Each structure stands twice: as C-alpha cells, then as structure tokens.
Chain A
Amino acid sequence: MIAFIVRRLVTSFFVLLAATMVIFGLTSIAGDPLADLRELPGADGERRMADRIERMHLDDPVWLRYLNWLTGLFRGYLGVNRDGQDVGVMLGDALSATLQLVLAATVLAVVIGVCVGIISALRQYSSFDYGVTLAAFVCFSLPLFWVAVMLKQYIAISFNDWLRDPAIPPTVIVVLALIAGLIWAAIAIGDRKVKLIAFGAGAAITAVILTLLSVTGWFADPGIGLIGLAILAGGTAVGLSMLISGLQYRGPLYAALAAAGLGVLLSEILTPVLADPSWAEIFGLALATVIICIALGYGLGGLLRQQAITGAVLTGLITGGLIFVDRLLQSFASYSDMVRGRPISTIGAGTPNFKGDFWQTNLDSAGHLLLPSMALVLISLATYTRYSRSSMLEVMNLDYVRTARAKGLPERTVITKHAFRNGMIPITTLMAVDFASVIGGAVVTENVFGWQGMGTLFTTGLQQVDPAPVMAFFIVSGTAIVVFNMLADIVYAYLDPRIRLS
C-alpha cells in the first residue's frame, strides 16, 4: 500500500509540473497584458506600460518567466499580480471565501442526496421514486444564474418583506399540506388504505403545524423551544436506534434516549455558557458530548455495546446540533432588528462591520450563505441522488443480499448492514472528485452572489493575462485533485477488501 501511495505521489508530482508549464504558457499568450493601458493618452500611458512590463518581466521570453515563477514557488513565493499585489495574500483570502461558500453546500448535497437516493432505490418505481427522478433532472438542468435571480427574488426579497407580518395565507397552508401528504403517501408502503392514512396524517400534521407557526408569528421570532427539542431529540434517538440496532433490543434504545435526554437537560443547565460562546467552547462541548455518549453506550448497551455506542454518539451529536440551531433561532429576532428587518441577504459574505454576539454573527454568515448554498445544493443534488440510487439498486440485486434475506435476517439488517456499506463504495469516488473541484471554486455562484473566491481569482487573472494569480489557483486546485483522488483510492481499499487483498 505504501509503495502504491509513493508511486502515485511521484507520478502526480511530475504530472502537476508538466501541467504548470502548459498552463503558464497558455495564460501568457492568452492576450495582451497591456490592453487596458493602450487607450491612455501620451506619456502617461507609456510610463505605466513601462512599469507593468518591468513588474511582469514582459521583456523576458515566456520560458524564462516560467522558470522565474517556478524557482519562486519552490521558495514558497507566489509572486505579485500585475498591480503589484501579493498573490499569496490574495490566494489566502480567496481560498477561505471559497471554503466557506462551497464546503457546507457540498456536505449538505452529499447527505441529502445520498439519503433521498437510497429511499428512492428502496421504493423503486413508486411515485416517490418517479417524483425524485423528475425533480432531480429538473434541478440538474436549471441554469445557475437564473436560479440565483429567482432565489434572490423569492427567498430573500419577498421573504424579508413577508417577515414584517409573517402570517401564512390559508391557501398556501392547504397547498403545502397537500404536497406534504402526497410525499408521505408516496413513501409509505402498503395497500391503498395505508397510503390514504399516510396522506391524511401527513397533510393534517403539516396543516396544523403551519397554522400554529402562522398564528404565533413564529417566523418573526423563531425557536425550537424545550418541548420541541425534547420531541425532536427523542424522535432522533428512537429513529437511530431503529436503524442501527432495531427497537427490540432495549440497551441501545435506552442509551440513545439517555443521550437525548441528557442533551435536552444540559441545554438548560448550560445556558450561561451558551449565551455567548466561542467556537472553541462549541467544539469542546461537542467533544464532551462524544465522550459522555460513548460512556452511556458502553454502560447501557448490554450485548449490543457497539451499536449502542454508535447510536448514543450520533443521537448526542444531533441533539447538540438541534440545540445549536435552537440558540441561533432564538437570536433571530434581535439579529433581524440589527439589519433593519432584512435577515436574508442577496449578496456578499457578510454585513459590512457587523458586530454582535456569537449567535448573531453566525446568523449573519448564515443569512449570507443561505442563497448560494441553496443554489449549489439544488444543482449538485441530482448527481448524488442518481448515483446512490443506482448503486444501491445494483447492490440490492446481488446474490449475497438474496442470501442474507434467505437466512431470515430482518430487512433492516439486510439494508443497513449488508447493502448500504457496499452501495456507498462508488459514491466515495464521486465525493473525492467533487471535493477537489470544490476547492477550485464555483465561478458562476461566486460572481452572482458577490463572493471573491478561487473562481474569481482565476477568471480575473485570465482576463488580465496575468499568470501569477492563475498559477496560484492552479497549484491549489490541481494539488487538491491529485490528493483527493489518492484519498479516494485509499478509502476504496479500506471499504472494499477485494481491492486491498488483490
């Protein structure tokens, strides 16, 4: 394995080196680096051209400029752009902006996409499956800039207007309830009666919840509240136990429930800490949660100790996440006031000069990240849904799954233990490639939502025929692709013993 990694690294290095040569050469001959100065009249233009020629070494042949850049690179120096700004600094800013923008969206797309894909595989040829297929293809074919304009108009501008008097009109409630009912009916398995019940229950519950939210003005001053938290955390505990170990085993269930209960309890006890924490404290709390939950699982798990630990830790973390969201939502009203009642933003990475406590600052970031993330998730959701669906279907039809069923294993065990893990192997490749391209930024999204990320660095550099920023972009994104592909191979080997052993 180590020999394999080393071999890969060495070849990748030379591939990258050759690629830098090509990219540098192509960028250098992509146009006239002095184009914008040529229209300046008289001596002024000439002097500024001379300045730029000196700064960019335009008198040297391209290969010499390349070697210059390369020796700089090995000393860790990325050079300056045509205006003399340090490219290293620019790269740092661009990379952090891009990571903020795209990382959350990609993680969300993976989680949601894989979940939806698996459910639609398990309900193959159901109306849910058809619905998801249709939605995935529609989203996939939407042009991003158009989606962005629509999101800005409806999710930001109209939503902010509506927040002044957040009452949901009855017709909207009815329509949403019907849609929710249809989704539930589509997911439910059974005869017509079961489906009807699922439809009725789904629609009714949705209608009641929406009416309650509307009447209480929840959207203007939201929050989950302790009861909501308890219900959601308990539900998570039960649901996870059902998936991981099955409800007939009490140990894991109790461990998960205890984790949920403890979390809800601590959400009140820890109020002094949670009033205005720092990220370090939040990570500390997450770590403490993991340790406590491992202990809970160990103590309460009984025979199924391993599953109990997994279930408890996941429940604990999700409960923690719910508490985090609850706190964020509680700060929503005060944040909204601070930004003149317009919490969802259409542009930029943050309100300029925004000062608030931990929650308000994070709400500000969230308010600015919401639209670009939605746009990115909508469009990349399709790939994950389709891949995980087809891979899951393929696995479900394999002999060993049939054997597992024939042994008499419950369907839950067959899916989660035998099919799921193997079904996910192809997805790892997809994820690796996706994460690598994430580092390269999202040019259109960055442009439409006013983020100065990697994509902007690259396109501006290219337009100005300025190799230094383009090369900085390329070094980072190219290395990311090489590294992530290698990671994918390693993970592959870990997940699939056939590769490791052959």
Chain B
Amino acid sequence: MSHRRRLGRLVAAVAGGSLLLSACAQSGGGTSEPSSSASPAGTAQTITYAGEQEFNSYNSISVNNLVNSAAMQRVQAGFWYYGENGEVTPDKDFGTYQKTADSPLTIEYEFNAKAVWSDGTPIDCDDAMLYWAAKSGKIKGFQVDGTTGVELTKVPDCNAGDKKFVLEYSEPFADWQSNGPGATSVLPAHVATKAAGMSEADFIAAVKAQDADKLAGVIKFYNEGWTIDGGLKDMSLYPASGPYKIASMAPGQSLTLAANDKWWGTPAATPNIVLRVISQEEQAQALQNREVNLIEPQPNPDLLAQLEGMQGVTVKTGDAYTYEHLDFNFDSSEFKDKRLRQAFAKCVPRQLIVDNLIKPLAPQAQVLQVRNVLPFQPDYNTVVQGSGAEAYADVDIEGAKKLLEEAGKVGMEVKLGHNEPNPRRTQETQLIADSCGKAGFKVVDGGAETFFEAGGALGTNGYDVALFAWTGSSEVSGWSSTYSTPKECSENGKENNNGCYSNKEVDDLIKQLNAEVDTTKHPGLIAQIEKVLWDDVATIPLFAHPNLLAWDEKLQNIVPNPAQSSVTWNMDKWTLAS
C-alpha cells in the first residue's frame, strides 16, 4: 500500500513538473495562423440577398413563384428581360430578334452563335421548340403560367442545331416583344428529352406534329422534374444560360449562385450570390449584422425608421408595379348612375390617403392619376395630360353633394368591399367614409376574409365599391380584359372586369391597342382610353404600392426594379467593396 502511494506521488510530481516546464516554454495562448482571408483586396467574393420564400423550382413557368423567377433570371437568360423601371429590354448577349414583317406579324429570332448551356450543349432550336410547346397551349398537359400571345403563333419551323427560328402571328399582337422567349422562359430541352428518353430530332418532330402522346415523357418532366425536393440531387438537371449558374442549395437556408464559366457575355462582377431564406421580421437585424447585404422587405413605418437609423445602410423607397384602386359595381348597384360615380369620385380623399398612409412609407409617393401607366414610367405625364384626372384632383364635398341631390340619393348606403385582415385597407375605408359621409354617402365597411375567394364578394358582385389592387406590367395585353366588356357578367365570365364595366369606345380602343405592333403609338392610345375611363369614372385610381429596399452602403450597382422580377434583375453587376 505505502509503496503504491509513493509511486502515486511520483507520477503526480512528474506530471506537475512537466506541466510547469511546458507552461514556461510556451506561455500565452491564441497564436493563430495568419488568417487566410477568403477575399482578395477590393471586392468581396460573395453578396447575400435575403428573401422570405424559398426557391422551389428551376422551372418558374410551371411553378410560378416570384421567388423562382427572381432567383433564376440571371441563370436562365432570354431574348429580353425586365430592365430598368420594369421596361422590356432586349438581352443582346443572349441573342437578337427583329420584326421582319407586319402582316402577318413575323419575328425572327437568332440565338448568339456562342450561346451554350453551362454543360456545353448549344442553345438552339430544340430549346425554342420546348418554349413554344409549353407556352402555346396547343399541346395539352404542360403546366404553364399562361398562354396569352404565344397561342397566336405558328409552330417555329427550325431543325435540330438551327440557331434561328421564327414566330409568326395569326393576328397583330402589341406585346410581341415580351411575348418572345425571355429570361427564365428558355429551359434546357436537352435535359427534358434526355429524362424522357427521346432524341432531339424526335422531340422537334413531335412538337411540330403537336403530338401530346409522344411528348408525354417530356411533359411529365417539364411539370415535375425541375421541382426542388429537399435540395439539389442531380446538378446536371440545372444547366445555366446566363452569367450565373446554380452552385448549391441548403434546404430551408440558402441557394448559392456561382459565376457561369461557360457564359459568353460580360462576366459576372461578383463570383457568388447567395439567396438566403429569412422571414420579413428578421431581415433588418440580419442586414445590420451584415449576414445579408441586401433586403427587400414589405414596407412599414417602424421598419423604415429602424433601417434609416442604421449606420452604413442605404435605404431606398420606391413604387412597385402594383396599384390600389376603387372599382364600381356596374352590375347590381346604384352606381350604374354616372352622377353617383362622379359624386363619389369627388369626395374620395385621395391626397389624404396618400399623405396619411403611403408617404410615411415612401416619401415621394403621389396620388395616381391614371390606371394603366404608373408614375415611374416615362409616358406617365403624357398620358395624364388631358385625361380629365384634374377634375377629381381635389376633394369637392359641395360638388359631390350637389350631384347626389340631383340624383336624389342623399344618404345612400355604399358597401365598400375589401379583403381582411388588411389594416391599410381598413384605414382607407375609414378615411373615405369620413370624407364621403360629409357629402351624404353612408359608407359601410364591407371588409371580409372571403373577399377574393370563389363565391366571395368580389366574384359575386356583393359590393357597391370594391377596394383592391392590380399588379401591372409594361405590357398592354395584361389589362385588356380589365376594361373590356365581359362575355357575361358572371363570376367566371367577367374575367378581370369585376364590376362589369362596359363601353364600346373603350372596347374598340383596347382592341386597337392590342393589335398595334408599333410601341411608340401605345402612349397615345392609352391616353385616349384613360380619358374615356375618367369620363365614365369607370374606376378611381388611388396610388402605386410602395416598395422598400435596403442595402449595405458598400454594395454598388443596386438598381430597384418595380417589376415582379425585383431588384435581382442586374445581379451580375453587383459588387461589394470590402
């Protein structure tokens, strides 16, 4: 026993002694290697953008989530994209197109001779054929966001390997530019045909024959094969045709884009763009901690104040391509009487609504004077001139009262329908009720959760005045059904013309506009339409929805974009000074 004890002491002593010795030999800790910084001097290697929704499909035509097109627009380039101010802009790197004939309207497209997918396959005829097959609606089974326009075209007559193809329209179509294969619309046909076990020539022949049975495999793959299912499994399914390609994805966390080494145009300025999934409420602090460099949250006054209080953060408010408006029910309400519409338009406090509810979010906000052109568009002022909007620029309670008395409807009840919960619309309703109450209208808040639903108030015309928003675009065909006389005034028959407004003159003008292939003539026609719409007081435009962007001030070349394609439209130009 005692022997063992002594041994124990010895071991302990040796251990202790060596401990001291080694402590003397190397005192202090934390001698780290010289850090191998990831980025060279100048610019950062990675820029991080925060979005609320997760990327979930490489095919943003069949899974029409805005997040997918926002993520993919510089991965899948096309003949055009939504450029600055949301204008349709040709992408000369990708290819060229020109109108070669007016009757029938014929557009000739040519892919850039150097255009290849990032896996090396040339971008050519089969990709155009896949675009047409899916978007024309003539081959049943493809899940697409819409077929308007392309359904008017004949199947392109090109052969495997051709770089040129032609779209020939059966009738003139005003938006022919944006109707061609744009960014995120040209998908790799060779991936789909390979998955379906089809040869390129067979595929092209089957599309020309419009044979849905032969194409069944391709259709199935088109609809389902590009859906992202718990991460990216087979990278060969997702080739790129733009400055960026998909590099990796962490489900629930982020999508990483890396510069496409096969891209033949101007190379991406920053090698990596990371799109992180971060919920609205958490984005501001993530930006402040520089975990993300750019955020695009829904604006609210507190958030704006928080962002403006941050150091080194640039905040920019602007307009979105969405506008709020009041629609009259021409079908089953008293507002069939034009005098009542005029009276209501005179008492709606549009300036007050903008001042109280929108300016705190976007200081430059203004009252929207027309419906189909928004203030950031170059033609806005031309169209507003002489549209008759000035008659309703200021609240005119006396004028409204007079008209109401003329019509003999003083004290009439107005059910103002909108969706709920939506605090801003409830506040708008309150402001309208106060002001129009003075003129003799009795405005009732008709807000309901089911407002937009099938069988809800909007569909079944269960309102006198409806308050909601339309998403716009620079294309004119987008709003043609909103003001054209509906086929029948029923839930399914009226399309976007919810109040069943009808005016022959407008119908004709819209037809004329949609057939006008010369875009320079569009503003004049739109101005004429707006004038009739104001004469009739068909609807009352209120304001363009505000949007909000905030970014690390070291980030350069951030250009807001009001179109749905969002700020990511020029991500290949972004740089971040380090």
| Residues in A lying within 8 Å of B, measured CB to CB | 35, 38-39, 41-42, 44, 47-48, 51, 83-86, 89-90, 92-93, 97, 149, 152-153, 156-157, 160, 218, 221-230, 250-251, 254-255, 257-258, 261-262, 264-265, 268, 299-300, 302, 326, 329-334, 337-338, 340, 342, 344-353, 447-452, 456
Contact = CB atoms under 8 A, between A and B. Distances in A.
B4 A230 contact: no
B270 interface: no
Q: Which 7 pairs across A and B sit closest by C-beta, in order of nearness?
A: A225-B29, A223-B30, A452-B252, A223-B29, A261-B15, A89-B230, A337-B35
A302 B274 contact: no
Interface in B145-198: 145-146
A251 B289 contact: no
A230 B15 CA distance: 11
The SS class assigned to the A binding surface is: helix
A433 B323 CA distance: 52
Given A268-B26, A345-B289, 16 more contacts: A38-B452, A157-B288, A254-B12, A257-B15, A299-B8, A300-B11, A302-B4, A302-B5, A326-B29, A330-B30, A333-B35, A334-B32, A334-B33, A334-B36, A337-B35, A448-B281
A387 to B, nearest CB: 33
A348 B452 contact: no
B29 A452 contact: no
A254 B8 contact: yes
Nearest to A303: B1
B495 A258 contact: no
Contacts of A38: 452-454
B229 A329 contact: no
A198 B262 CA distance: 70
Contact of B248 (A268, A344, A353): A353
Contacts of A230: 19-20, 23
A227 B27 contact: yes
A224 B29 CA distance: 6
Contacts of A254: 8-9, 11-12
Interface of B: 1, 4-5, 7-9, 11-12, 15-16, 18-20, 22-23, 26-33, 35-38, 44, 46, 48, 56, 143-146, 224, 227, 229-230, 247-248, 250-254, 256, 272, 274, 276-279, 281-282, 285-286, 288-291, 452-454, 495-496, 578
Contact of A350 (B12, B251, B253): B253
A442 to B, nearest CB: 15
B251 A452 contact: yes
A344 B288 CA distance: 12
A83 B289 contact: no
A51 B143 contact: yes
Contact of B23 (A48, A227, A257, A347): A227
A282 B19 CA distance: 22
A350 B250 CA distance: 10
A81 B22 CA distance: 60
Contact of B26 (A153, A226, A333): A226
A255 B12 CA distance: 8
B289 A338 contact: no
Nearest to B223: A51
Nearest to A46: B492
B230 A90 contact: yes
Contacts of A226: 22-23, 26-29
A331 B32 contact: yes
Given A38-B452, A342-B290, A250 B27 contact: no
B276 A221 contact: no
Contacts of A344: 289
Nearest to B272: A353
A86 B229 contact: yes
A330 B255 CA distance: 31
A349 B254 CA distance: 10
A47 B145 CA distance: 11
Given A334-B32, A352-B274, A347 B282 contact: yes
Contacts of B276: 347-348, 352
B19 A261 contact: yes
B454 A450 contact: no
